[in-house]
């Protein structure tokens, strides 16, 4: 049996197909996912099962990301969700952009969509894939640029 928390084959496969800089979105049940040219993993079972944050928690336990983006509307209109995400994310800061950017720029950039059953206002999370910086920069003679020093120093949660 597979080690780790994610047992869903399609979810695992979607993570495995991500490369550095690729965009993955964890979205709520109502997000308008494009139909062509993207991978869709539909985990929605019923209302709020699984929740957006549950899916995000599973993802961050098995995925290297370097950027996380949500709608700035979260701060004002869905602060519990926003704080829950900030508590979960430790590799980088949670950035905010206007919701229209999530529906436009980021939706169009996404390679993979993980659909939850979540009914969260502005409950969509953009993840930009990173690299295993400690592994990449551990070889003798490799110099770590300043902009990678924090990533190289990152320690996984136990």
Q: How far is CA 23 from CA 18, 110, 144, in A?
A: 8, 5, 25
Name the catalytic one among 20, 34, 42, 138: 20
Question: What is the β-pairing status of strands 125-129 and 65-71?
Answer: antiparallel
**Residues β-bridged to residue 46:** 49
Based on the residue annotation, tell me whether 99 is a catalytic residue of this protein: no
With helix as H, strand as E and coil as C, how does 13-53 read? HHHHCCCCCCEEEEECCCCCCCCCCCEEEECCCECCECCHH
In the DSSP assignment, the letter for residue 6 is -
Catalogue the active-site residues. 20
């Amino acid at each position: 049996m597979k080690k780790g928390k994610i047992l869903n084959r399609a979810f695992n496969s979607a993570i495995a197909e991500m490369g550095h800089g690729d965009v993955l979105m964890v979205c709520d049940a109502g997000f308008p996912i494009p139909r062509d040219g993207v991978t869709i993993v539909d985990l929605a079972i019923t209302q709020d099962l699984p929740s957006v944050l549950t899916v995000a928690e599973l993802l961050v336990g098995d995925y290297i990301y370097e950027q996380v983006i949500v709608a700035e509307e979260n701060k004002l209109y869905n602060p519990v969700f926003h704080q829950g995400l900030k508590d979960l994310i430790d590799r980088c800061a949670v950035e905010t952009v206007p919701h229209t950017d999530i529906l436009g720029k980021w939706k169009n950039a996404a390679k993979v969509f993980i659909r939850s059953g979540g009914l969260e206002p502005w409950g969509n999370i953009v993840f930009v894939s990173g690299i295993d910086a400690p592994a990449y920069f551990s070889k003798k003679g490799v110099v770590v640029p300043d902009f990678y020093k924090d990533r190289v120093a990152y320690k996984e949660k136990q």
